[in-house]
Amino acid sequence: MAFKATYEESITSQNMKSGFRETGLIPFNPEAVLSKLDIRIRTPTPPLFNLDQWISQTPRNPTEALSQSTLVKSRITHHQSSSPTPIFESVLALAKGIERLAHENTLLTAEIRILRKANEALSKRRRAEKNQLRQGGVLTGQEALDILSQQEVDIQIQCDERQKGGNSNGEASSNRCCT
C-alpha cells in the first residue's frame, strides 16, 4: 500500500514532461541535447594487471623459471614508455641461466640421494662386521682380505682428497705417498 501511494505521487504527467524537457526531447531541441554531452578525447588507461595472479618468488624448477620469465616479458611489452628489446635479451639470458641451474640442481640432488644410500649401506655392513667380531664370531680369510682392501681404498680416497684440497691451482701436486 505504501509503495502504490508513493508511486502515484511521484509518477505524474507533469513530472514526466519535465523529465523529457530537461533532456531536450520535448519540445524537440537538438542543441540542448548536444550541449549536455561531455565529449573529451583521451587515451584510455591500460588495463590493470591482477597482482593476485602472480607473486614474484624464487622458482623451484625449470617450468616455474620459464613461466616467470614469460610473465616478465609480457609485463615489459605492456609497459609503454620503454623499448623492450634490450630488456627481452636480458630476461632471456637470465631465464636460460636459471633453467640450466635448475636442471643441474636436480641432477646433483639425485646424485646426493644415491651417494647417501650407498654410504648408509656401507655403514651398515661395517657395523655388522664389527658386531660379529665383538660377539666372538669367526672371521674367514676372505673377510679379512675384504676388510684390508676396504681400508686401503679408504686411505687412498683420503689421500686423493687431501691432494685435491691442498693444491689451490688445481694442478697435480708433487709425488706424495700415502701409507
pLDDT digits (tens, 9 = 90+) for 81-125: 767 677 777 777 777 888 888 889 889 999 999 999 999 988 888
pLDDT-based confidence at 129, cuts 50/70/90? confident
Q: Alpha-carbon torsion 15, 19, 24, 25, what sign?
A: negative
pTM score: 0.35
Residue 108 has a pLDDT of 94
Query: Mean per-residue pLDDT for 149-167?
Result: 82
Residue 171 has a pLDDT of 47
Domain ranges of the chain: 63-138
Residue 141 has a pLDDT of 78
At residue 61, what are phi and psi to the nearest 5 degrees? -155, 170
Q: Of 20, 19, 15, whose CA–CA distance to 6 is shortest?
A: 15
Q: Are 97 and 68 in contact (CB under 8 A)?
A: no
User: Which has more pLDDT, 31 or 113?
Assistant: 113
What is the per-residue DSSP string for 94-125?
HHHHHHHHHHHHHHHHHHHHHHHHHHHHHHHH
Distances (CA, A) of 33 to 15, 22, 83: 19, 9, 45
